[in-house]
Amino acid sequence: MPLIELENIRFAYSPEEQPVLRGLSMSVEAGACVALRGDNGAGKTTLFRILNGLSFPQSGRYLFDDTEITHGLLKKQREAKRFHQRMGYLFQNPDVMLFNATVRDEIGFGPRQLGLPAAEAEARIRDCMALFELELLADKAPYHLSGGQKKQVAFAAVLALNPEVLILDEPLAGLDRKTRERLLALLAELRAAGKTLLIATHDDALCQSLNAQILTLEDGQIRE
């Protein structure tokens, strides 16, 4: 049974407009590494919003681990928490994600929300800051960081929740070469650790280095 299953999804931002997703179906097995390709405006980010329960299709079904993900389900706080704990989402634009006063608080927000014991939360914050070499930025306001720094803080904050699925929207865009190499290695480690990865990207080298299964979003549907 696939971990993620979309059946005949139709989604429009408004009733007057042509739907962005038009009968889209796809399935993703647990532990798979999928690269989602597609032109600018094809609907990759829109699809990721649906997968994360931030938008809901007008028709079609979305099953996550055999449970249909609906607006009604995610209105229940316990169900929503369980779902979001399993699925981490790195937004294409990290500005949308960052709202804490310092980098340390930003990365610690998730572990604290999970109610982890203080020592474990601290260890996770430390580990995730180290992964991205963010120690020197720990007391800075995320708001004042550079674009590439923000992206790394947002990524660290996602990993601090230790989700089993990672949905990454252009994770390497705009990063310098050293950071890019570091993140490529990290993504390979996450893949080897059995995480399910879905990555929207225009980056051929990224797809190759992860040996990702490539899906293309075109005309509102997935083409293999």
Q: Which stretch binds ligand ATP (CB under 6 A): 38-46, 99-107, 128-136, 160-168?
A: 38-46
Shortest Cβ distance from residue 220 to Mg ion (Å)? 15
Task: Give the residue with the Cβ less far from Mg ion, 44 or 104.
Answer: 44
45 contributes a contact to Mg ion by CB under 5 A: yes
221 contributes a contact to ligand ATP by CB under 6 A: no
Site for ligand ATP in 82-141 (CB under 6 A): 92
158 contributes a contact to ligand ATP by CB under 6 A: no
Site for Mg ion in 81-100 (CB under 5 A): 92
Q: What, of ligand ATP, Mg ion, none, does residue 102 touch, CB below 5 to 8 Å by kind?
A: none
Task: Give the residue with the Cβ less far from ligand ATP, 51 or 166.
Answer: 51
Query: What is the 3 state secondary structure string of the chain?
Result: CCCEEEEEEEECCCCCCCCCEEEEEEEECCCCEEEEECCCCCCHHHHHHHHCCCCCCCEEEEEECCEECCHHHHHCHHHHHHHHHHEEEECCCHHHCCCCCCHHHHHHHHHHHCCCCHHHHHHHHHHHHHHCCCHHHCCCCHHHCCHHHHHHHHHHHHHCCCCCEEEEECCCCCCCHHHHHHHHHHHHHHHHCCCEEEEECCCHHHHHHHCCEEEEEECCEEEC
Shortest Cβ distance from residue 22 to Mg ion (Å)? 17
The residue number with the shortest CB distance to Mg ion is 45
Residue numbers of the site for ligand ATP (CB under 6 A)? 13, 20, 38, 40-46, 92
